[in-house]
């Protein structure tokens, strides 16, 4: 994978972290947390597989 593509993937993850919680709203609760906070919290864990996949695919 080209580095630029990997950068795009991380930037998309970054934007998802910034935007999705706001789109999710807070009217629904999951695990007793408002959905937006829960989404932001769970997105932390999405960084783990992303990093491991990218370090195996990206040629630096």
Partner 1 sequence: MNSIIVIVILYLAAMIFIGFLYRNKASKDGENFLVADRSMGPRLGGGALASTYASTSSFLGTLGAMYAFGVAFGLWQNAGVIIGFALATIFIAPKFRSYGALSFSQFFEMRYNKKVRFVSAIVTIVAMFVYILAQLQGGAYAVQYVLGIDYWIGVLVIGAVFITYVVMGGSHSSIMASFIQFIMMAVSMITVAIVVLNAEPWGSSTAQALQNKPLVFDLKGEEGLLYAISCFIMMTLGAMSAPYVYLMYMFSKSNKSAQTTSALATTYLSIFYFVLLIVGVYIIANFPNLDNPDMGYFHTLDLLPTIVAGIFVAAVLAAAMSSTDAMLLNATSAITNDIYSIIAGKHLSSDVVVFVNRIVAVIIGVIAVLVTLNPPDLILLVMALAQSLMIGAFLVPLVLGLWWEKATSQGALAGMIGGFAVTVIAQIVPMPTPFIGGPLGAITSLILMVIISMRDSQNKVGYDSQTINQSQ
Point out which residues bind partner 1 (CB under 8 A).
Answer: 3, 6-7, 10, 13-14, 17-18, 21-22, 26, 31-34, 36-37, 40-41, 43-45, 47-48, 50-52, 54-55, 58, 60
- Minimum CB distance to partner 1, residue 2 (Å): 12
The residues, any chain, with a CB within 8 Å of residue 43's CB and separated by 6 or more, are: 13, 16, 17, 20, 21
* Secondary structure (3-state) at 34: strand
What distance separates the 2 farthest-apart alpha carbons in the chain? 44
- Minimum CB distance to partner 1, residue 42 (Å): 8
């Amino acid at each position: 994978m080209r580095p630029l593509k990997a950068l795009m993937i991380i930037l998309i993850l970054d934007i998802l972290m910034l935007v999705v919680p706001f789109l999710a709203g807070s009217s629904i609760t999951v695990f007793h947390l408002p959905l937006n906070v829960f989404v932001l919290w769970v997105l932390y864990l999405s960084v783990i597989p992303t990093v491991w996949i990218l370090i195996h695919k990206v040629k630096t």
